[in-house]
Structure 1
C-alpha cells in the first residue's frame, strides 16, 4: 500500500510504502527496493529532476519475532572491511519494521498518518475485545490530530479496513468508541455509513440478532438526530416488533424524526 502525506518543512509530498507480511521473508528488503525504484520512475519530475521521499515500512504479524536485516548495506558481504571510499559506491537504504507478532512489542513513532495506519492494523489483530477497543481509541485520537481535510478519508479507510478484517465487530462497536474519542463528528460517521450501506457493507452488519439490530439502530439514530432521540424513543425502538425494526433499518439513513415517531406509535 502507498500512502501520500505531508511533512512539515517539505515542499512536496512524502510517500509511505507499506508491505504486509504474515511470515518472515529474508529477501523483503529487495522486494521493497524494487517497489521504490518503480515508484520513482513513475513520480520522477522531469522539470526538477527530482523524485519524492519514500519511507518503506514492513507490517509483520507472524508468530515469531522479526529477525531479518533491515539495512541493505549490512547485507553486503565483507562491507565491514571495505574502506570508506568504496562504501560510497554501495546503495544505502533501510526499512522500518513494525512487529505485531505475539512476542513483538513495537512502539509506533513518527508521522501521525503512519500512526493511524499502524494502530488500525494493531486493532485489526487485537486478541481480546478490551484490547480492540483500546487500540481503536488510539486510532481515533490520532485521526483527531490530522489536518481537517484528511479526517474523513482516514476515518473511512479505518472503518472499512476493520469491518473487513474482523468478523467479531460491528459498526456499533466502532461508533461507541468514536463517540467517546471524536465527539462532534457525527456528520462524518453518517456520511461514511451511507457510503458503506450503498456498497453493501453496512447491510450485512444489520442482519444480526433482533436485539443487536435494535441497539445498532439506536446508536446510528443517535448519531443522526442527537438529543431528538430521547430515552422514551429508545425504549420504543427496543420494544418494537421485527417488522417495524426492518422498516427502520431499510430507511435508517433517510428516515426523518417525524417518520420514525409515526412508525413507533
Structure 2
C-alpha cells in the first residue's frame, strides 16, 4: 500500500492519497491463520489508551481463501473461473488437480466466441500448470496432449509446442546450473590448491632457512629433497628444529 502511494505521489504529483482496499487471494495447502487486522499484530494494542491508539496505524484486509471455494461458488467470466479454479487446485490436489483444471478450462473456454483469445488463455494456463506442478511426468504430458486432441483440438498444438519449449528451457537451465556449479566448484578447488601450494612453498623456504642457520649451508641434493616433501612432513621438520643435533636427524624424515 505504501509503495502504491509513493508511486502515485512521485509520478502524478498528488496532494492527497487514493483509497486502497487491501485484498488477499490465498490458495495454499494450509488454512490461512494470520490475523486480518493490523492491530492484532501489534503488541499491547488493546491495552493502549484511546488517545494513544489514534497514533497507531490500523486497518483490516479482505481475505479470499479460494482453496475452500467450490466450483459453484466461483463465478464470473470464463477466464476468471479458470484462474481461480486452477490456482485453487494446483497445490491442494497435485497431479489430479492439473487434470481437473485442464478439463474445466476446456469446458469454460468453449464458452468464448473469440477462439484466438481462448487459445492464448489456454497457453497461459498450460504454462502455469507445467511450471508449478512438478509432479507431472513426460508420460502425463503425452496423455494430456492426446486428451486435448479429442476435446479441444485448438489447444493440442499449443500444448505440444509448449511442452517441447519447456523441455528445452529445462535442459538449458539444467546445463546452465551445472556449468555454474562446476565453475564454482572448480574455482573453490583451484583456490584451495593455490592456497595449499603457497603454504607448502612457504614451509619449504622456512625449513631450508632454519636448517641453514643451524647447520650452515645445505647440500643441493638435500635442499632438492626437502623441496619435494609434503606439507605435513615439512611442518614436522620445522617444529623439531631445536631438537636436531645433526643433519642426520633431519634425513630420517626425508629418506
**TM-score bucket of the superposed structures, by smaller chain:** 0.3 to 0.5
Bigger fraction of residues in strand? 1
Bigger fraction of residues in helix? 2
In the superposition, the TM-score normalised over structure 1's length comes to 0.41
